[in-house]
Amino acid sequence: MPEAGWIPIAIHRPIAGKIKNVTVSTIAGGWSVSAQTALEAIIPVNSRPAVGIDIGGVQSTALSGATVFGIARPAQTELRGWRRLSDHPSRQEQRVVVI
């Protein structure tokens, strides 16, 4: 390194894998070295059965075990109540209370 020359290092843990990139920086008057390594990853094989939930538009909910739950349909009385409650307050008739 042109500025620092040879820098003694203390390896705190063994470096696993092949070194790909080394960055040398100075922080608060001290030098720091960080290294990126390439390491072969072992992907474990999952032996458990698949479990999951699919939430879709055609079927409301389907489990990975082929259990399907249908879409819950509201009753007609509930729909009438929802329509009444969805009227925007600004379009409603203004009621004046006289005391």
2 assigned to some structural domain: yes
What contacts 52, CB < 8 A, 6 or more positions away? Answer: 63, 64
pLDDT at 84: 76
State which residues form the domain around 57: 53-89
pTM, to two decimals: 0.35
pLDDT tens-digit readout, 20-46 = 998 888 888 887 888 899 988 888 887
Q: Count of domains in the chain? A: 2
74 assigned to some structural domain: yes
Please say whether the beta carbons of 18 and 38 come within 8 A: yes
> Are 27 and 58 contained in the same domain?
no
* CA–CA dist 9, 3 (Å, integer): 16
